[in-house]
Amino acid sequence: MKSLLEMLKVVVISVIMLFLSDIAFAESLPNNNESENKTDSTFSSHRFIHKLGIEARPAYIIPTNPFLRGENETGKLIRSSISAHLRYSFQFRPNTYTDRIYGGAYQGIGLAYYTFSEKKYLGDPFAAYIFQGARLARFSPRLSFNYEWNFGISAGWHPYDFDYNSYNKVIGSKINAYLNVNFYLNWKLSRLFDLNAGVDLTHFSNGNTKYPNSGLNTTGLKIGLVYNFNREENFLSNSSDHLKIPKFPHHISYDLLLFGSWRRKGVAYGDEQVASPETYPVFGFNFAPMYNINYKFRAGVSVDGVYDGSANVYTEDYIVGTEQQFYKPGLNKQLALGLSGRVEYVMPYFTVNLGIGANVLHGGGDLKALYQVLALKIEVTRSSFIHIGYNLQNFHTPNFLMLGIGYRFNNRYPTFHR
């Protein structure tokens, strides 16, 4: 079974290749119809504005674990971090259908270096990630309020080690997922430069692929400078007001997803949490009829089936410091079928999926609970996608990763923006 690093590396490389191939295709299109070039970015020989940015993000570490609150070798609080980011992105040109519909959407790839107070315990990790953002509100031609999400992998951590780093119950592996959301003000200083300043929230964890997995959360500020390579002189004009957005074809599409992953398990025994030495497989499917409301939103219901090889695993006669035997129940206690409500936020290349549901057929125990899903769907072709998701239980307990591929049937989503 591939490691978390290998799986996420494949996804990041696939997304980068998707970006590069899309850019190459768009910039190789002939420029034959001047009127279409003014209204639809699909026919533009220079479809994107290319950007290079740097950012600094000082942050406060949210003390969600006793280790962070001073229960460590030095007795010191672990409260702060700072990171430096180098980022490339491309943005759809203004005054086009795509810009109007998706609020000046941009997307790209970034590299970051993190350092923490008391780095002896946590290390100085670096991160590689994909990101996407867009405008939420425009206050003036120069000033807007934007959002952005980041998703990727981070490496270089000092994880939990029974002999050398036993206090660190927060980070359990050298490789961890990196998730970030931020909101900021974008100020267009000139044709070439933008200044960004705002707030952000970051989460690091290994998706329950190793134990322990409490995860690390930070919140803080961000400030950055962006250089626009090919933004035009009339970048402040708002000539897209005359564009009449085509009516959206309301319809029901059907997403079929197959996913798999692996997980480690901590089993409760009395007041103790005993770590199982085994790695357990997880397989499942989702089938979701989704009503396409408009260009940016879908909603529907999903039928969710799962086999969780760690469900209802138990141990007996636990003695601290001894090798412990764990027992697996019958197959009927590791299978479940659930129903969940789903909503999706649709953007170019990426769709964010949120869900909440409950297992209606199950073998009890671990499977008798509410579950929540947060997922990113990465477009591969018009109707196929890569799925990277995470399943939580009762809003706080880490459950399992959902790494898979999916296909959308009866996809009548307009393609003019491609």
Same-domain pairing of 162 and 309:
no
Do 184 and 213 have their domain in common?
Answer: yes
- Domain match, 399 and 264 both: yes
Q: Which of 407, 310, 400, 288 is nearest to 355 (CA)?
A: 288
Question: Residue 345 belongs to a domain with what CATH number?
Answer: 2.40.160.20
Q: How confident is the model over 245-251, as a mean pLDDT?
A: 92
Q: Does 257 map to a domain?
A: yes
Which residues on adjacent β-strands are paired with residue 149? 132, 181
Task: Report pLDDT for 57.
Answer: 98
Q: Are residues 36 and 179 in the same domain?
A: yes
Closest CA to 373 of 393, 403, 351, 359: 393
For 366-384, write each residue's pLDDT tens digit. Answer: 899 899 999 999 999 999 9
Return the higher-pLDDT residue of 225 and 19: 225
Based on the domain organization, do 195 and 313 belong to the same domain?
no
The arithmetic mean of pLDDT across residues 315-330, rounded, is 73
Asked if residue 236 and residue 190 are part of one domain, the reply reads yes
Q: How sure is the predictor about 12, in pLDDT bands with cuts at 50, 70 and 90? A: low
Q: Is 261 within the bounds of a domain? A: yes
Which pTM value belongs to this model?
0.85
Question: Do 281 and 179 fall within a single domain?
Answer: no
Residues 15 and 124 placed together within one structural domain of the fold: yes
Residue where a domain terminates, one of 242, 260, 281: 242
Q: What range defines the domain where residue 273 resides?
A: 251-409
Q: Is the pLDDT of residue 189 over 70?
A: yes
pLDDT at 307 exceeding the cut of 90: yes
Asked if the structure places residue 230 within a domain, the reply is yes
Percent of the chain with pLDDT over 70: 83
pLDDT in tens, 37-96: 333 433 344 679 999 999 999 999 999 889 999 888 888 899 999 999 999 999 988 878
d(CA 105, CA 347): 8
The verdict on 261 and 163 lying in the same domain is: no
Q: Give the chain's domain count.
A: 2
